[in-house]
Structure 1
Amino acid sequence: MAEGSSAPNEVAPPGVNINVPHSARIYDYWLGGKDNFAVDRAVGEAMIKAIPDMRHMAGENRKFVHRVARDLVQKEGISQFLDIGTGIPTRPNLHEIAQGIIPEARVVYVDNDPIVLVHARALMISNPLGRSEYIAADLRNPASILKDPALLETLDLKKPVGLTLIAILMLLADADDPWAKVEELRDALPSGSCLAVTHPTADFNPEAVAAAVGAATGAGMTLVARTREAVSRFFGDWELLEPGLTPVPAWRPDAPVDNPEAVYYWAGVARKP
């Protein structure tokens, strides 16, 4: 079988090219899911070879989402979320955390992989008092997200929104100007809204991260690791909440963390003045 081709018994769902790796399915593989294909597993394993703790890092990103959802609801009074780069659903999902605290919470999920859409409709079932919706769209076109009828029917953009961009901005090259894309999203949200970001970095282990990036780009993917300074730019003039921009496990951990820099991701949450 040629490198990058699918296994003989793998069947492509409608609209899914199983001969091209996709970040959502690679992430699903790292998290122990089954919604991935041979090409995704090949890239995922190549990246694990470069960074043996990659699965742990993926798990820490999921735990960060849970902590953010909990804290934004309980401490910032936010009851509606826009999650861009959702990935294949992994329970508990963001809306399940938020609605477990406020049953009326509303969440709009956004991703550009058709396989995510299939699972989102099946697994992202809202509490009857709240609402969860899914938009098939791309972060490269923020206007298409912000003008989508499903978003406008679900979220009230006159009230604070929790915008989550978890391990997604790495998929936009500098030439795509991801900072401008995030700025467009920030500008559309009212005062009191919060932005949560995680982003891989080479700041803690340049050689290992370079090898992982090389494995992804060698398979035709875009994957960019950015410095602390570059990641901080995504927040613009919004006020970073304590403890600021930190390694993912160090952001308001539920238990002491021995070596947070062993997870090669920056994480932070900021509030719009």
Structure 2
Amino acid sequence: MSIYRFGKLVMAVGISALLAGCEKNALSSSEFQYITPQEAQVKVIFTSSYQANPGFHIKINDARVSGVLNFTSGNPTPFPGGGLQTGGGSTSDYLIVPARENKITIARPFVGTANDSVLLATSTNTFEAGKKYSLYFTDTAAKTTSLLVVDSLTAPDSGFVRYKFINLMPDLPGVDLYLGTLKVAENIPFKGVSPAFTIPTNNASTTWAIRSAGSATNLHTYASAASVATSNQRVMTVIARGYSTISAAADTRKRAVSLIYNQ
């Protein structure tokens, strides 16, 4: 399919953290290869939702690295890997890329080919050796924009889950994130990234909510035990996506929350 490889960076601290966790909470991942000192890792999350929900593929340096993807059941598909309220699987996989400048493009393919039909988005970024990145695309058409985020390489202590929050809603200047009644991120601007925070797996609530900054009204809620209670030592990114004015469940542009598996 491409010259790019799936990978996971394995470190002694990560191995000891896995051993400390309960077997039923073991993290799942695909078969991996070790990365070299000249390589980095990247995951691509295309949240630029279109009402028509077109199929798209991903290329790195003009080489196709994915099959045809789309918003599965109205949710974006991280590639590679997956998350909650997303398409994809239950793994935290990344692609291994050269530690240098790389161009990543999103395009609609000609049917049955690997050739581009309509370019939807492109981003050129420099990746440093040994680092793990997520590249997010948001907004649509001429306003499409990207955000490159460095992801954590370290799992939290047993009994905890580590998160960060990203606001990918173009029509809101700031978003608050709640877990139950606990405000875990405040007034995060568009394309802003919150400080990391940890939540115990025995937390009283597993319901996430997004609000316009300072508001007492939920724009959207998402409840999932897998986001907290059964995710011992996971590292995840919570994203607010879509447009605040769209709520119809069948519309891929709707306001929503997703969680991306990083580790």
Identify whether the pair has TM-score above 0.5, normalized to the shorter chain.
no
Instruction: Give the number of the structure whose residues are more often helix, by fraction.
Output: 1
Instruction: Give the number of the structure whose residues are more often strand, by fraction.
Output: 2
More contact order relative to length (CA 8 Å, sep ≥ 6): 2
After TM superposition, the score normalised by the length of structure 1 is 0.31
